[in-house]
Structure 1
Amino acid sequence: MSTQPSTELETFANPTPERDYTIRIRIPEFTCLCPKTGQPDFATLYLDYIPEARCVELKALKLYIWSFRDRGAFHEAITNEILSDLVRALEPRYMRLRAEFNVRGGIYTDVVAEHRAEGWTPPIPVQLPF
């Protein structure tokens, strides 16, 4: 069992690639450092994605998220970096990352970044009669 952070994102084959389905992951213990003060920033990350051929392995994701703990970064930059790394590793049909940062100086920050695969459109929702 690894006890060190890692920047490697392991994946596994999507068990149902013929279907659009959503994987939702909540990461409540994300931390990085403020690039101005060096003080810790805390956030909850909400990751939603519709996989294509690959899914992210959760322990690898945990170790990857841990790798940001001692890095200074602006909220906007770190959110987009994480999304870019995940998109590069998974090549999903759709991915959305919302980073909900804790209050700092009386200000809350939420950053939302999205990716849609070229040519992919979301399915039309079915309206049920009840």
Structure 2
Amino acid sequence: MIDHYVINLVREFLVRHVDCISLSVLTHVRVLAIRYNSWWRVNPLKRALINAAIAYLRNGLVIRSTTLIGMLRDAVIDALMNTVTRKLSFIAYVIGTKLGEPRNPVIAGLQWLNRPVQYRWLVG
């Protein structure tokens, strides 16, 4: 079981790294979520928003509304959160980069996750 501290670290990582919303990003996130069977765990309104934006962008139109882009970014982050929290290697990578391990962040993250909870210190 992953604790809330680790989930918040993953969410912060995704917020920092999801910066542009395009047709390729939206379709990739949807395909990834469907492949890992987490698409149905996403809020139905956010799923509909992503599907509508994909259909809109496939017609060659452009999304210019900053509010809509912010909503799409939030929907993409939620879809990715449901997908990547199932992959231990990604969680270990996020923790390892937060620990500041430049060479092997996955190994450092796995070592941190394997420690008993009372011996873990707060990262960052």
Normalised-by-shorter TM-score class: under 0.3
Structure with greater proportional strand content = 1
- TM value normalised by structure 2: 0.25
Larger relative helix fraction: 2
* TM-score computed with the length of structure 1 as normaliser: 0.24
